[in-house]
Amino acid sequence: MSPFTVLAFTVLLFLAILGGVAGILLERQRAPAQPAWRNPAVRDALLPIAGWASLFGLDVAVALIGAQNIAVDIKHLLGTLAVLLLYYALLATLRLIYRSLRRIAARLRPARQPTEPRVIPLLGRLKFPTLFVSAVLAAASVLYYDGLTQNLLFMAVIVALLGIVHRPRGEPAPSAADR
């Protein structure tokens, strides 16, 4: 990995950690009686952790099994899955930074008015919008680098499954505080 890439990942993760902690503290001040598991900032902070942990978990699993013991087709599918997990971890981290900055900006406003939600029409209805965008980016990467292969079919199925899973009608859309 180039030094620039390492520096970029380090800065990204540092900003995410600072933003996550600031968001959690600001949300705790806003609603001190709210339990930690219902705090939207905690949920936002857990998404990048889940993304990075799953990516590193996949790496550890392949290392424990041994790359030489895995069939070539399975290696290619695991590589495609790793690309999906990398995109998800990066997008979830960027989303955490963005939402933390919005919380900080809302706190600094003199009127203390809540921030308006910014919903992308299709993504706002999906249950897992960040994962859906990650799957689309991974499918585009597979198409660009591999062409029409089994890996592209694998990613297309994941995109289709994530695209049909919508938020239940009874479940409210995320509020301004959740954004």
pLDDT of residue 28: 73
Query: Once rounded to an integer, what is the mean pLDDT over residues 96-105?
Result: 81
Query: Once rounded to an integer, what is the mean pLDDT over residues 93-102?
Result: 83
Q: Is the dihedral of CA 62, 79, 123, 105 positive or negative?
A: positive
Condensed to tens digits (0 to 9), the pLDDT of residues 154-173 reads 888 888 888 787 766 555 55
The answer to whether 165 and 156 have CB atoms below 8 angstroms apart is no
pTM across the whole model: 0.78
Condensed to tens digits (0 to 9), the pLDDT of residues 72-91 reads 888 888 888 888 898 998 88
pLDDT of residue 177: 42
Measured CA to CA, the distance from residue 94 to residue 16 in angstroms comes to 7
Condensed to tens digits (0 to 9), the pLDDT of residues 7-23 reads 887 887 778 877 877 77
Please give the mean pLDDT across all residues of the chain.
Answer: 78
Confidence category of residue 96, pLDDT binned at 50, 70, 90: confident
Q: Is the dihedral of CA 52, 54, 57, 62 positive or negative?
A: negative
